């Protein structure tokens, strides 16, 4: 018999981090801990307040239910918790962790042996122009060749100026530029903004308009001079039929997968299958999990062998993250097997 419990944990940002939804100072997360025959398994259920579809008042009750019914087994639990993607993801990790020789090594590979790394983008948070400029300089100095800038919070022209500064010094061959609007554009002016951005050799834009505007997004993807990546648009789409239909309708150039928000490994794998059938490419991004969830996402991502830079550089954002073997060096994420985990709740 498996015993299960859960714990809540509050992550504190080193610096308040700006998005188009406001400034983040803390991030709430939860852990599911399994025990069987003296072994332990750990999974992070990375609830994202204000963004997760399962951000509902009885969230904790669902965690209690999952722990009380843990011996139903993973397959049945995932079906029962179809509308709680963050709990699905936590359970997937915890069961894999329980089975593994080393509870933190969920997908043994050349990555977890320390022989291979994952290319990642350097994330630029929203804020005053000078703050964003300093972040860009720092990322370039530390060896990133792919920069992702969150836009939509300050004046659009000021954001264009920042992007022009990068392009003045570095060509598209030297630095890949991605932008993430988090749905900040208006459908009426979005195409004009995309045209201005496309003049700067931008790789792609994530979620230019708010999710749920299917017809407007379909039109944008058909007319855009700049590849569009769906991100928030995938949240809350549960059935296989709905997933396929959404991608067939919108025909995006890319999709972005956040396992905590879309049903973990199983949900991500299904989205990838449908995207590849339609010749859309994809990459995987963490959603401000602690190093427990980030580690699981990184190991899963490496197993898929994507050639694109991934969005996995968020481990250093918090003052009270758990010490882990994950290290960012020269724009890549490494797993240093000589470093020891320090996971204490």
Specify whether 307 is catalytic.
no
103, 139, 148, 150: which one is catalytic? 150
DSSP E strand stretches across 251-310: 254-257, 281-284
Specify whether 137 is catalytic.
no
Q: How far is CA 154 from CA 158, 173, 186, 245, 330, in A?
A: 7, 27, 15, 35, 29
282: closest CA among 301, 265, 264? 301
Task: Give the integer Cα–Cα distance in Å for 89 and 43.
Answer: 8
Report, in this order, helix, strand and coil percent for the chain, each rounded to 5: 40, 25, 35
> Is 179 within 8 Å of 160 (Cβ atoms)?
no
CB atoms within 10 A of CB 337: 13
Task: Give the integer Cα–Cα distance in Å for 239 and 244.
Answer: 9
Alpha-helical segments (H) within 30-155: 59-68, 74-80, 85-99, 129-141
27, 193, 243, 258: which one is catalytic? 258
252: closest CA among 268, 269, 273, 231? 231
Element containing residue 194 per DSSP (H, E): helix 190-198
C-alpha Rg value of the chain to the nearest Å = 20
Calculated CA dihedral for residues 144, 117, 226, 243, nearest 10 degrees: -140
> Is 131 within 8 Å of 318 (Cβ atoms)?
no
> Is 167 within 8 Å of 161 (Cβ atoms)?
no
Residues marked active site are found at 150, 258
């Amino acid at each position: 018999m498996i015993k299960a419990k859960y714990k809540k944990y509050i992550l504190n940002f080193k610096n308040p981090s700006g998005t188009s939804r406001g400034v983040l100072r803390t991030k709430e997360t939860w852990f599911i801990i399994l025990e069987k025959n003296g072994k332990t398994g750990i999974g992070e259920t990375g609830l994202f307040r204000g963004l997760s579809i399962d951000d509902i008042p009885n969230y904790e009750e669902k965690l209690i239910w999952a722990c009380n019914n843990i011996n139903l087994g993973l397959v049945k639990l995932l079906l029962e918790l179809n509308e709680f993607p963050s709990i699905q993801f936590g359970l997937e990790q915890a069961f894999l962790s329980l089975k593994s020789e080393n509870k933190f090594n969920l997908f043994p590979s050349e990555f977890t042996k320390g022989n291979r790394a994952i290319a990642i983008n350097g994330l630029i948070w929203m804020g005053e122009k000078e703050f964003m400029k300093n972040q860009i300089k720092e990322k370039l100095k530390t060896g990133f060749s792919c920069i992702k800038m969150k836009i939509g919070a300050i004046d659009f022209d000021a954001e264009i100026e920042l992007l022009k500064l990068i392009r003045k010094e570095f060509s598209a061959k030297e630095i890949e530029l991605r932008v993430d609007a988090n749905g900040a554009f208006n459908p009426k002016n979005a195409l004009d903004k995309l045209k201005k951005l496309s003049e700067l050799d931008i790789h792609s834009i994530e979620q230019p308009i708010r999710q749920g505007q299917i017809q407007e997004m379909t039109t944008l993807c058909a007319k855009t001079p700049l590849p569009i990546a769906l991100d928030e648009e995938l949240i809350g789409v549960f059935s296989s039929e709905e997933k396929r239909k959404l991608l067939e309708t919108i025909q995006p150039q890319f999709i972005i997968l956040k396992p905590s928000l879309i049903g973990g490994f199983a949900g991500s794998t299904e989205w990838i299958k449908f995207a590849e059938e339609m010749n859309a490419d994809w990459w995987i991004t963490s959603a401000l999990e602690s190093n427990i969830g980030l580690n699981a996402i990184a190991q899963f991502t490496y197993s898929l062998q994507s050639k694109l830079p991934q969005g996995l550089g968020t481990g250093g954002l918090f003052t009270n993250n758990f010490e882990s073997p994950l290290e960012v060096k020269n724009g890549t994420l490494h797993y240093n097997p000589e470093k020891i985990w320090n996971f204490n709740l």
